[in-house]
Amino acid sequence: MSATLKCEIIPVTAFQQNCSLVWDPTTMLGTLVDAGGDIERLLERVRHHGVTLEKLLVTHGHLDHAGGVADLAEQLKLPIEGPHRDDEFWIQGMPAAGRQYGFPPLRSFVPDRWLEHGDTVTVGTMSFDVIHCPGHTPGHVVFHHAPSKAAFVGDVIFQNSIGRTDFPRGNHADLIHSIREKLFPLGDDISFVPGHGPLSTFGRERQLNPHVSDRALG
């Protein structure tokens, strides 16, 4: 039986991206979802909780979500899972994007496992469903842990907002479809960790989000 997850949200980089340290309390094995940077701070929190990292998970290829992944994977000899292969161009472009935004030098990487819609990823005894949610980026994925009623949604949806679609290969219609047809059906009681800002639930956003609520879209 899958354990209920434990989680600490650790904002990283100048963009205050919500990196999530997620672990299985029965095994104390864990992962970092979207290790965008500030590696030493992340590792301090891992040590604080007594977690052993077994892999790194990535929702999409933007630098604030994936900028620390290559260095962490190399330092700790960890496999990388995610995102979907359609974000490969974003990951390969991270060194140039980092220079553009004034980040410390960033390295690209090739995930050990590209993820597809319907895949599962494991952390300790826990199993997460992979949901491909294009729109913000073409290869964006969401990690859903049903027993905990929790989802890690990257930059797909936020409290009162949704992801930008004005980046290369962004698509507003795809984003709305991802939220309405793939995420909201998971249930109103699902709490989600967005890539930035406070947590929310799909039920709250379905009722109040001005971009994707039932009222907003008729």
Cis peptide before 83 (omega within 30 of 0): yes
Q: Is 40 inside any structural domain?
A: yes
Q: Is 217 inside any structural domain?
A: no
Quote the pLDDT of residue 1: 46
Q: Is 176 inside any structural domain?
A: yes
pLDDT, one tens digit per residue, over 182-215 is 999 999 999 999 999 999 999 999 999 999 999 9
Quote the pLDDT of residue 2: 66
Tokens of 35: 């290790």
Task: Decide if 87 contacts 127 (C-beta within 8 A).
Answer: no
E strand or H helix at 194: strand 191-194
- What's the domain count of the chain? 1
pLDDT, one tens digit per residue, over 1-13 is 467 999 999 999 9
**Angle at the Cα of 92 (from 20 to 123), degrees rounded to 5?**
30
Q: What is the mean pLDDT of residues 105-119?
A: 98
- SS3 state at 4: coil
Gap between the Cα atoms of 106 and 46, Å rounded: 22
pLDDT at 48 over 70: yes
Q: Is 214 inside any structural domain?
A: no
- The domain that holds 124 is classified in CATH as 3.60.15.10
- CB atoms inside a 10 Å sphere around CB 130: 21
Q: What is the mean pLDDT of residues 54-77?
A: 98
Q: Could you tell me what percentage of the chain is helix, strand and coil, using 3-state DSSP and rounding each to the nearest 5?
A: 30, 30, 45
**Angle at the Cα of 102 (from 101 to 104), degrees rounded to 5?**
120
Q: Is 63 inside any structural domain?
A: yes
Domain span at 156: 6-208
